[in-house]
Structure 1
Amino acid sequence: MQVNRLFEIVYILLNKNYITAKELAEHFEVSVRTIYRDIDVLCQSGIPIYTSKGKGGGIGLLDNFVLNKSVLSKGEQEDILSALQGLSATNYPDLDKVLNKLSNLFGTKQNNWIEVDYSDWSNTQKNKFNLIKTAVLQKKILKFQYYNSYGEKGSREVEPLQLWFKNKSWYLKAYCRTKNDIRTFKLNRIKELSILNEQFTRDLSQDIVSIQENIPQIPQEAIKLRISSSQAYRIYDEFDEDQIEKEKDGGFIITMTYPEDDWVYGLILSYGNYAKVLEPIRVREIIKNKLKETLHSYD
């Protein structure tokens, strides 16, 4: 379409000092005459394009020209660019191309405020993430084997709605055809993943509230720990500042509120003999019993 070609001509001119009509014609697979007609249309629309003849000549834009973007404030333009850069976390296709176009459109230099590195992920995990992302964007059905929190394996067929990052882990929000309900799946537990050649029409906006309502609400437990000063390198990574009280000997009193489950027991046990449960007594006894069970497993 001519409108798309006109916009792309302007984008090209914003990136180059000049270009010949022949080069533009080859790029768009149209005639040189068509390109000159497009240039006339752009000039009549107020785009300050100039042409020069002879060696080194061509078509260009007047210096310091940017497209009229008065619809958006400067702050809104920066928000758009920042939000798009945030998509780098998902390896969104052609993102650099879009950012370059919008930066030129806004007459703004990109501020690369975010960089996401998945170097600790295996290729299997990266491929899984990208496969799910593709299925979400293309509304394709996913099929996989899933291990629940009890280690039970089951086959699932789902309509993927959203990738969700929470508490250092990636999850998939999806409508599970196997369970006929909205479910949340942890990516690490998804195995044998494949995209089916079938599309769905379900919209995330219809189901997001249902997803949140279906996440089990586990009772919270206030737990107080004493942790050795030798673990300071972990303390400030794993706890909020208002949960930490430093003692005179350099140790730490940690007051935290977490769902009482195997995860929080595992967190406490990961500190070994450097951590001691002070309250509540019931959790203290649970940790003692788990330590005894571990010791007996070596008998």
Structure 2
Amino acid sequence: MKVHRLLSIVMHLLSRKRMSGQELANLFEVSLRTIYRDLEAINSAGIPIVSYSGANGGYEIMEQYQIDRQIVTFEDLHSIMNALKGIQSSLDDPDLADLMVKVGALLTKSEQSQLEEAGETLIFDTNIWRGGHVDRSMIARLRQAARNRFVVLFVYTNSEGMVELRTVEPIGLAWKGYAWYLYAYCQLRSDYRTFRLSRMKEVVVSDESFIRRDMSLEDLNARWGKIDTANLIRMVLRFHPRVQIKVEEYFLPEEITIAEDGYFIVRTDHAEDVWLYGTLLSFGTDVTVLEPKHLADSIKERALQIYSLYE
């Protein structure tokens, strides 16, 4: 167990650069004294660890130190190659292509042959189904703008159909579910926002630079990953048995019960928005909103609006 922890400490310091003793203690759920002993053992084993004092102090491995290929297994490299191929399928990034070559070079000839003979058992593919288009040039420009800290301007259409000119300070990109999003500080809203790339038009990377604010891409991703419980409504839905598969894909097992007549009753919480209306309407006559009444009325009104188009 200790050997595993020592190796994990080395890998974390290599990937995250500097970490405090308390951060390491919290991460591995051991005492600070144990971490100090571990760091001393790592240093004694020939891996140079440097300590820094002050507010931003901590421990890191000397920049010149390189990891030995022996502690990275064939399975590890295979997984890395799979992940890189998936990302490259969307980004078409020369740097990633070069990285794939470097990782591939770590494989021995016998391992390369083994990889070719075994074939792929896992594929990461972020390309959109049904002929959807991913603008790789836009992704590349936005990534570069985030790296170089250049302000970006574009025309944006939100989910309500409102069109506005946005001026943003890009932080980074994220693949969420089935679409690419830009995380950025919006000067119009004076706050951080997410922008779906498919809704961004006339994208211009300006020459105006900006000073990065104290918010990382990881922080923003965690922030938007949290559910805003204040805006949730409690729903009770009744689904026809023929859409069982879709119901089980959309909802958690504990949210689903089966009535005596075979219909599925779903009790769940969800934000009331355009996406919810569209999702419920997509089930057609296979779903009935039992509660709340105002949601049932909203679905009825939208269904009547659709009906009126064909009268």
Q: TM-score range by the shorter chain?
A: 0.5 to 0.7
Matched, 1:276 2:288: yes
How many angstroms does 1:259 deviate by? 0.6
Unaligned runs of 5+ in 1: 1-66
CA distance in 1 between counterparts of 2:211 and 2:196 reads 23
Aligned to 2:99: 98
Matched, 1:69 2:69: yes
CA distance in 2 between counterparts of 1:136 and 1:177 reads 15
Aligned match of 2:165 in 152, 155, 168? 155
Unaligned runs of 5+ in 2: 1-66
Q: Equivalent residues in 2 for 1:55-204 (5 A)?
A: 69-70=69-70, 72-74=71-73, 77=77, 80-81=80-81, 83-88=83-88, 90-94=90-94, 95-107=96-108, 108-109=111-112, 112=120, 113-116=122-125, 117-118=127-128, 120=130, 122-123=132-133, 125-202=135-212
Distance 1:216 1:185, change over 3 A: farther
CA distance in 2 between counterparts of 1:195 and 1:170 reads 18
What is the one-letter code of the residue matched to 1:242?
Answer: E
- Cα deviation, 1:82-112, whole Å, max 9, x if unaligned, reads 5534533542523344223223324344574
- Cα deviation, 1:130-181, whole Å, max 9, x if unaligned, reads 4433433444332101123432222112221121233433321112234333
Contact between 1:222 and 1:256, CA under 8 Å: does it hold in 2? yes
What is the one-letter code of the residue matched to 1:135?
Answer: A
CA distance in 2 between counterparts of 1:68 and 1:158 reads 42
How many angstroms does 1:209 deviate by? 3.9
Distance 1:103 1:172, change over 3 A: same
Distance 1:280 1:173, change over 3 A: same
Aligned to 2:51: none
How many angstroms does 1:129 deviate by? 3.5
Count of aligned residue pairs for this structure pair: 232
Sequence identity of aligned pairs in percent?
26
What SS does structure 1 have at the residue aligned with 2:106? helix
How many angstroms does 1:233 deviate by? 4.7
- Cα deviation, 1:162-212, whole Å, max 9, x if unaligned, reads 212334333211122343332221223211112224444526755754676
Q: CA RMSD in A?
A: 3.6
How many angstroms does 1:216 deviate by? 9.2
CA distance in 2 between counterparts of 1:124 and 1:249 reads 45
Contact between 1:147 and 1:190, CA under 8 Å: does it hold in 2? yes
What is the one-letter code of the residue matched to 1:84?
Answer: L
Distance 1:197 1:182, change over 3 A: same
Contact between 2:93 and 2:140, CA under 8 Å: does it hold in 1? no
How many angstroms does 1:291 deviate by? 3.0
Deviation larger for 164-173 or 84-93: 84-93
- Cα deviation, 1:15-66, whole Å, max 9, x if unaligned, reads xxxxxxxxxxxxxxxxxxxxxxxxxxxxxxxxxxxxxxxxxxxxxxxxxxxx
- TM-score under structure 1 length normalisation: 0.62
Aligned match of 2:231 in 196, 204, 219? 219
CA distance in 2 between counterparts of 1:148 and 1:93 reads 29
CA distance in 1 between counterparts of 2:144 and 2:257 reads 46
Kindly name which structure, 1 or 2, has the bigger radius of gyration based on alpha carbons. Answer: 1
CA distance in 2 between counterparts of 1:199 and 1:84 reads 30
Aligned to 1:254: 266
Contact between 2:239 and 2:286, CA under 8 Å: does it hold in 1? yes
Aligned to 2:7: none
CA distance in 2 between counterparts of 1:279 and 1:178 reads 37
How many angstroms does 1:123 deviate by? 4.3
